[in-house]
């Protein structure tokens, strides 16, 4: 039996403020990244792409981990809310993964001399992007709600394996990609304090953007689910 309870998000009193906070933090992060943070002594101003590249990478990981957890939730409970959370987070994750790749290419051109190279980090990220695009396409292959949600959940559980591979690929394989800059084992961050603060604000801003988009997308999906389930009665 599938529950049809409404999403809890429409009742959240703080929901209207998510977009406002996300916008304010994004403007602050933009100012800090473009104006306040100092110029890098080696790379010059091109390094400022880091304030987009790293947050989008973090959001790609976060979004797909949420897909994994929501997929487990659906398989365990069969509650449509978990399926709505999974598809919403997957769509946003694909968006941020695409931005992650684009920002990395913009950074790679002046530093490596090419837009793209078959580096382990780039290849595994591209694989992750394709896997979750496939996850979204899979959802369109069936009109049966429960069957579609179950198939997608299985893929959502399996695909999460690629996340640690992407993140650790620079340590496991020969790579031209730089080693971790912030979370370095046995050493402090390889960033100036003001650069680190700017990066932290950027990550926070992107996280609020993710949450704001997620809440709205779940609400849209729950209304769509309600219409689909209503036609089955």
Q: What's the pTM value of the predicted model, to 2 decimals? A: 0.85
Residue 186 has pLDDT above 80, yes or no: no
Residue 44 lies in a domain: yes
What distance in Å separates the CA atoms of residue 163 and residue 97, rounded to the nearest whole number? Answer: 11
Lowest mean pLDDT among 112-121, 161-170, 223-232: 223-232
Residue 4 lies in a domain: no
Residue 2 lies in a domain: no
What distance in Å separates the CA atoms of residue 69 and residue 61, rounded to the nearest whole number? Answer: 12
Look up the domain containing 165 and give its range. 14-231
Residue 140 lies in a domain: yes
Whose CA is closest to 174, among 96, 127, 118? Answer: 118
Q: What is the pLDDT of residues 47-63, one digit of tens each?
A: 899 999 999 999 999 99
143 φ, ψ (degrees, to nearest 5): -95, -10
Residue 23 lies in a domain: yes
- The percentage of residues in the chain with a pLDDT greater than 90, rounded to a whole number, is 53
Residue 153 lies in a domain: yes
Residue 98 lies in a domain: yes
Whose CA is closest to 64, among 137, 146, 136? Answer: 136
Residue 9 lies in a domain: no
Structural domains in the chain (count): 1
Q: What is the pLDDT of residues 4-29, one digit of tens each?
A: 444 444 445 677 888 899 999 999 99
Q: At what angle do helices 145-159 and 50-77 cross, to 10 degrees?
A: 130
What CATH number should be reported for the domain holding residue 185?
1.20.120
């Amino acid at each position: 039996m599938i529950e049809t309870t409404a999403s809890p998000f429409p009742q959240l009193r703080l929901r209207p403020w998510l977009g406002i906070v996300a916008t304010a933090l994004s403007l602050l992060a933009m100012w800090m990244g473009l104006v306040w943070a100092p110029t890098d002594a080696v790379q010059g101003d091109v390094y400022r792409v880091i304030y987009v590249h790293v947050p989008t990478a973090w959001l790609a990981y976060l979004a797909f981990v949420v897909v994994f957890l929501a997929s487990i939730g659906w398989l365990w409970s069969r509650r449509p809310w978990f399926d709505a959370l999974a598809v919403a987070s997957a769509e946003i994750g694909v968006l941020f993964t695409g931005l992650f790749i684009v920002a990395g290419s913009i950074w790679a051109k002046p530093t490596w001399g090419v837009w793209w190279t078959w580096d382990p980090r780039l290849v595994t990220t591209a694989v992750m992007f394709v896997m979750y695009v496939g996850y979204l396409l899979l959802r369109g292959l069936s009109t049966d709600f429960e069957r579609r949600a179950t198939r997608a959940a299985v893929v959502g559980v399996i695909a999460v394996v690629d996340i640690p591979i992407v993140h650790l690929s620079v340590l496991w394989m020969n790579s031209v990609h730089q080693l971790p800059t912030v979370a370095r084992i046995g050493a402090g961050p390889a960033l100036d304090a003001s650069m680190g603060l700017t990066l932290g604000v950027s990550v926070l801003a992107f996280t609020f953007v993710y949450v704001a988009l997620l809440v709205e997308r779940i609400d849209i999906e729950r209304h769509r689910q309600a219409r689909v389930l209503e036609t089955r009665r």
